[in-house]
Amino acid sequence: MADGAASGSFAQVSPSNKVMVHSASDFPSAIAGIRTLTSNTAYHVVGDISIGSDRLVMSASTSLVGNNPLVDKLTTTNAGAMITSADDCLITGLGFTCSSGDLISFTGGGTKQLIIDNCRVISCDTLGTVTTAALCRMTKNTVVACITDGITFAGTGGHLHIEGGAYDSTLGSVFDLGTSVWTTIHIFAVQINNPAGVTGITVAASGANLSSAGIGFILDNHIETVATATSGYSVGDLKWIVKGNPGVQNNTGQAQGSIESSALTTTFAGTGAGNDVAVNFGAAFVSDVAKKFTVSTAGVITYTGVIPISVYVDCTMFGSIAGGAARQYNYYVAKGGTIIESSVSKREYDGTNVGANSCTSVVDLVTSDTITLRVRAETATTALTVNTCSITVTEVQ
């Protein structure tokens, strides 16, 4: 700082809570191989720096920052976790080499946040572990070489958000949700380079990685080896929305049931409005497909998913009545037992007393809503037998 007389003394011009790291000595001194960083401080790494066999322990609201992960780098030969944190921390814009160990071990206790953005892992044994976090956000990161395993999650957390970037794995799953439970999970637009036999994303069966009210998204990712894209995930998992992932089967809700030549008779108490009844399928109705739905032998299709959806319902049937004069019957798609008037399909049974018909509708559903086929006699109460019928329900994307 100049004093006006061509002299003066040097002083740090950066804020007191920002440390410029030009060498390992700019970090706090190591104690038994551990460098504990100061809380509420941003360590701005400049250039390629080795910390030897040491590792870094983050304190409350500590940041590790670089301008360019190709230039600003940290290297360790430690066999454990290069970075350990149990508190809020931000890691951004840095390159890392930890070939003998893990990148990070985070244990946030459910109230802390971990944010890793725009980083490049040149080499690691594993990416590490995240055990319980209010938020874990990993965006636009690149993993060049992950030797043994990716990142494994555990504990009960809030929100997991992984977006963008590219991840290479040699031996183990890139993202293993393990026993973790989250309120929301969002894995979006990630390139996963997994060799044959290595799983890209591992999830627990039956939506166990999501809380009772939790929702999960696996959207628009590219997983290199489609044969081992995911493990544990099933199209029947009700809490997931899975779309746009080449090689990964989505979980679009759908159901289908049918009968053929073994229907029961449907009877009517009266004619016209208010006298519609469910078509009597009895034990003859069978389910061929049921993803996010259950299909009963009585022809009741029940939505079991947790996310509100819209579905297209398509019913085709072939019915007959006893002989006599021509009579009219109206078929309807019904939601929760209430007919959808716009789905009506009219059928005049003439002297042949048999005839085919169909009706369709788009229906909005929430958990436990039901879909049935209902019919009413318009001109006479003559009993009706639907000999053959197929009902198909498909989620509208």
Q: What is the pTM of this model?
A: 0.76
What is the DSSP annotation of 153-184? EESB-SEEEEES-EEE-SSS-SEE-TT-BEEE
Cα distance between residue 258 and residue 179, in whole Å: 39
Q: Which of 243, 265, 296 is the last residue of a domain?
A: 243
CB atoms within 10 A of CB 100: 16
Does residue 113 sit within a domain? Answer: yes
Q: What is the pLDDT along the chain (397 residues), one digit of tens a residue?
A: 667 777 777 766 556 699 999 999 999 999 999 999 999 999 999 999 999 999 999 999 999 999 999 999 999 999 999 999 999 999 999 999 999 999 999 999 889 999 999 999 999 999 999 999 999 999 999 999 888 889 999 999 999 999 999 998 878 889 999 999 999 999 999 999 888 888 888 888 878 899 988 889 999 999 887 667 677 666 556 688 888 887 776 778 899 999 887 778 889 999 999 899 999 888 888 888 888 899 998 899 999 888 889 999 999 988 888 777 788 889 999 999 999 999 999 888 776 677 788 999 999 999 999 999 999 999 888 888 888 899 999 999 7
**Helix, strand, or coil here: 130?**
strand
Whether residue 191 sits in one domain with residue 57: yes
In a domain, 5, yes or no: no
Q: How far apart are CA 152 and CA 204, in angstroms?
A: 12
How many structural domains does the chain have? 2
| CATH number, position 356 | 2.60.120.40
Amino acid identity, residue 56?
Answer: L
Same domain, 152 and 238: yes
In a domain, 248, yes or no: no
Please indicate, yes or no, whether residues 224 and 279 belong to a single structural domain of this protein: no
* In a shared domain, residues 62 and 208: yes
Q: Note down the domain range covering 351.
A: 254-395
- Specify the DSSP class assigned to residue 27: S
